[in-house]
Structure 1
């Protein structure tokens, strides 16, 4: 088969991790240094670093958490004002375009999808994608009283894509839906109820799945938390595995205190050949999918993710593959429900099919918006070692909100063409949303969670259904302790229980009926 020279190809990957303990301030890794180390590793991985370095005309950086969510990084550390240009300067590259991505864990795979199409169209020659987080450094420094100064001002223009679309609206925020740690439990409990599991049974299932993930992380040289943990430990509250939001304990959720960087290099087959990149290093994108879901309270079924379902279906169709033809997976794993819903959509058994190559966000590390760049790097190494096989990456952003999928292989596609993701999005946009109520009402709990602060229950939210719509509510004034006690009552599953809703000044409050 003659390979068209404009076929996009992934030619280099690199990762970096640092377990800085705070003892030597001069050795403290920064987001900039971690990106530099990962990018140099990706250049070296191509086998012809100098040729590739001189060919790079686009650098795109995944948005750092410090520029995504205020308060994620301790104040005072600062940062680079133009991260892609800062990286370019460290690498000795002068790109024609420098891009800073929108917020979201879908970004690494979405950027691969985007620039594969640009390379195919001749709009880009060689593209470096990179990202990093040094949240562990910042937190360790703050705890030990170490002063860090990451401020860096870079001349030149970059394309700053901003924060992207809002994923929650004022109605949701007013009524208690907000941070991921208080939102993903709503999906988790809804799925648990649909599957007919008790709370204890579902925690056991989550913990058994995560125990498998932790074993992968224990063997991953780039993992931030490379320690195998037993299902019993993961299911049991303790000083080191305390409740964060029902049903989650600490190690059930993504751990963002990481020092990690990753990088990928994309180019065309013709350019790769001209630069002398060995064919054994080439990896091809065979299919892709992208979709964005409605706001949380407007989704018809909280126990499903239509964005995951649609993006996976579209990617498999565009690659001409079925799940049985995929040998390797890395499914985004910020919370167990993301993995469980993806496995369900694929029709595979999460307990018998390996669904991570890194160990996932709780154990390999939740490197902000950039986790899936580590997954793609790991997939590249895995597929090179298993030539001819196929691998699937699912990257997730927001609240199961933004999904990006890529299907890869060392086998070249017969005729590469960009995938049109618009029909996938149209499928979701066309679906009817439930009515949201702002009125006095009585309904039944559809899902709920209780959030913890310093190990103690501190806040709660329920989503309830009535005959005419859906209600989001927080505990009524003066009734918080009773509401939390009712939701945590081990003798009564909250789902299906009756709640009375009072609406006052735009806020819905609930009390649980006896």
Structure 2
């Protein structure tokens, strides 16, 4: 087909990983990791790197974890303009630099957004990049010879803010929801309750889902932990595979101690032709959707995700294909739940022979903060080039299943179109909501739960229903009898007594 010259195409992808245990380890900053990935993306176009770099008019960055909050500073320092630090290193001087808020959905969301900007004539060549130096930061944290990654470059920067307030509140923080493992543990056990599966059997199912992911990661040269894990290794709690937050042992939790960078270069067909990028490098975005879930505590079913379901099905419908026509998947996998949520809602089998990841997944390939799915996009683009005319699906998740973005990619030419996200979002916005009781003095039952083994004192985190009116509440517990049930038994549906003090509900076994 003849495509409009404003049609956006992905023309270059790059990834970079350094591991502390490898020879040649350099201890690179977030800027340096992103620079290596950007150079790889430029080289991937197979044309004059300097000419392509000079043509980039927009840099879009995914925010590193260390700059995701105003309450602390990067331990080793950081650039005051991450994007322009990278731009200067690769010979670029973009008119616009944009830094995204917190959220793992970000890579697909901004790729869709700026592909649309290219189609509208608002940009011509866009580089999306992200990186995380978490492993290096931890490595040097207590050493005297730590590097200083501080840079002062200034220049224009459109900082879209932190965005963490979209995922937490004072109420949820007071009740222990201060990290992803406990947040997703609540969702996981809510799903288990809906399925009526025992704790041991559910852990087996999680391990059976993730063991094949580790097999992919073991063969990926960009993996942070290229080790194949058996189902038994993932299930069995040991000193190495200690419990983090119920129901997750360590090897089922996203690996945030990584040093990784990724970059994706998108440009108009006109720019690609002008710069001489070969057409066999072009990959088109056939379908896309970006959706926002209801706030956590008002969701009718905590064990499901409407945004994931509608984003994936919306992207497929836009592409005009069904799930059976997808050749490859890279589904966000910080924990099993986000993968299960897509499988449950679309009919995709957890053991589908096509596999559900191209990278190897966040616990094994690595979970580089907000930029993980940029690696998923890079792998999908490469896969599509190797399989011309086939389709690849990327599913990117942010927050506590709070936002979901999906994209369908192929080398098959396709005209750029706006998606159906507004209509799909309206469906989510009109879903029924559960009433929340903030302070409870009375009896309730446990709807879902997690146990924080990562705190100095083992603590149970509960979402429950009030016996009197079936409204929802949160509570915490250090009660020995209740904790014993939560760690060694099955507390789903258990009766509890709750007392409120200073904005915190505390529970004991009724």
TM-score, normalised on structure 2?
A: 0.95
Q: 2:184 aligns to what?
A: 184
Tell me whether 1:472 sits opposite 2:471 in the alignment.
no
Q: Deviations over 1:40-74 (max 9, x none)?
A: 0000000112332121100111111111147898x
Instruction: Measure the CA separation in 2 of the matches of 1:390 and 1:421.
Output: 20
Work out whether residues 473 and 507 of structure 1, in 8 Å CA contact, stay in contact via their aligned partners in 2: yes
Work out whether residues 77 and 148 of structure 1, in 8 Å CA contact, stay in contact via their aligned partners in 2: yes
Change over 3 Å in CA distance of 1:30–1:115 after alignment to 2: same
Instruction: Measure the CA separation in 2 of the matches of 1:176 and 1:40.
Output: 41
Unmatched runs of 5 consecutive residues or more in structure 2: none
Unmatched runs of 5 consecutive residues or more in structure 1: none
Tell me whether 1:149 sits opposite 2:148 in the alignment.
yes
Q: 1:335 aligns to what?
A: 335
Give the number of aligned pairs.
504
Instruction: Measure the CA separation in 2 of the matches of 1:143 and 1:364.
Output: 26
Work out whether residues 22 and 140 of structure 1, in 8 Å CA contact, stay in contact via their aligned partners in 2: no
Tell me how far 1:411 sits from its aligned partner: 0.3
After superposition, where does 1:206-221 map in structure 2 within 5 Å?
206-221=206-221
Instruction: Measure the CA separation in 1 of the matches of 2:364 and 2:22.
Output: 21
Change over 3 Å in CA distance of 1:227–1:70 after alignment to 2: farther
Q: Deviations over 1:468-488 (max 9, x none)?
A: 31111112xxx5333311211
After superposition, where does 1:403-414 map in structure 2 within 5 Å?
403-413=404-414
Work out whether residues 314 and 420 of structure 2, in 8 Å CA contact, stay in contact via their aligned partners in 1: no
Instruction: Measure the CA separation in 1 of the matches of 2:70 and 2:131.
Output: 17
Instruction: Measure the CA separation in 2 of the matches of 1:358 and 1:66.
Output: 23
Tell me how far 1:428 sits from its aligned partner: 1.3
Instruction: Measure the CA separation in 2 of the matches of 1:480 and 1:90.
Output: 56
Q: Deviations over 1:117-160 (max 9, x none)?
A: 00000000100111101111111122554311000011211100
After superposition, where does 1:481-500 map in structure 2 within 5 Å?
481-490=480-489, 493-500=490-497
Work out whether residues 394 and 404 of structure 1, in 8 Å CA contact, stay in contact via their aligned partners in 2: yes
Tell me whether 1:426 sits opposite 2:426 in the alignment.
yes
Q: Which moved more, 1:44-53 or 1:95-104?
A: 44-53
Work out whether residues 169 and 295 of structure 1, in 8 Å CA contact, stay in contact via their aligned partners in 2: no
Tell me how far 1:439 sits from its aligned partner: 2.6
Q: 1:389 aligns to what?
A: 390
Instruction: Measure the CA separation in 1 of the matches of 2:23 and 2:283.
Output: 41
Q: 1:367 aligns to what?
A: 368
Q: 2:161 aligns to what?
A: 162
Instruction: Measure the CA separation in 2 of the matches of 1:418 and 1:270.
Output: 20
Instruction: Measure the CA separation in 1 of the matches of 2:72 and 2:135.
Output: 11
Q: 1:90 aligns to what?
A: 89
Q: 1:63 aligns to what?
A: 63
Work out whether residues 445 and 496 of structure 1, in 8 Å CA contact, stay in contact via their aligned partners in 2: yes
Tell me whether 1:507 sits opposite 2:504 in the alignment.
yes
After superposition, where does 1:39-438 map in structure 2 within 5 Å?
39-48=38-47, 49-69=49-69, 76-164=75-163, 165-353=165-353, 354-413=355-414, 415-437=415-437, 438=439
SS at match of 1:138: helix
Change over 3 Å in CA distance of 1:98–1:280 after alignment to 2: same
Q: Which moved more, 1:464-473 or 1:202-211?
A: 464-473
Instruction: Measure the CA separation in 2 of the matches of 1:316 and 1:237.
Output: 39
Tell me how far 1:178 sits from its aligned partner: 2.9
Work out whether residues 295 and 401 of structure 1, in 8 Å CA contact, stay in contact via their aligned partners in 2: yes
SS at match of 1:363: coil
Change over 3 Å in CA distance of 1:336–1:145 after alignment to 2: farther
Work out whether residues 448 and 462 of structure 1, in 8 Å CA contact, stay in contact via their aligned partners in 2: yes
Change over 3 Å in CA distance of 1:505–1:140 after alignment to 2: closer
Tell me how far 1:175 sits from its aligned partner: 2.7
Change over 3 Å in CA distance of 1:24–1:116 after alignment to 2: closer
TM-score, normalised on structure 1?
A: 0.95
SS at match of 1:360: coil
Work out whether residues 50 and 91 of structure 2, in 8 Å CA contact, stay in contact via their aligned partners in 1: no
Change over 3 Å in CA distance of 1:278–1:147 after alignment to 2: same
Work out whether residues 207 and 231 of structure 2, in 8 Å CA contact, stay in contact via their aligned partners in 1: yes
Instruction: Measure the CA separation in 2 of the matches of 1:481 and 1:458.
Output: 10
Instruction: Measure the CA separation in 1 of the matches of 2:43 and 2:179.
Output: 39
Q: Deviations over 1:148-180 (max 9, x none)?
A: 100001121110011125212222222333321
Instruction: Measure the CA separation in 2 of the matches of 1:15 and 1:173.
Output: 35
Work out whether residues 6 and 269 of structure 1, in 8 Å CA contact, stay in contact via their aligned partners in 2: yes
Instruction: Measure the CA separation in 1 of the matches of 2:503 and 2:71.
Output: 27
Q: Deviations over 1:377-418 (max 9, x none)?
A: 0001111111110011001111111111111000011x3212
Work out whether residues 287 and 408 of structure 1, in 8 Å CA contact, stay in contact via their aligned partners in 2: yes
Instruction: Measure the CA separation in 1 of the matches of 2:83 and 2:136.
Output: 21
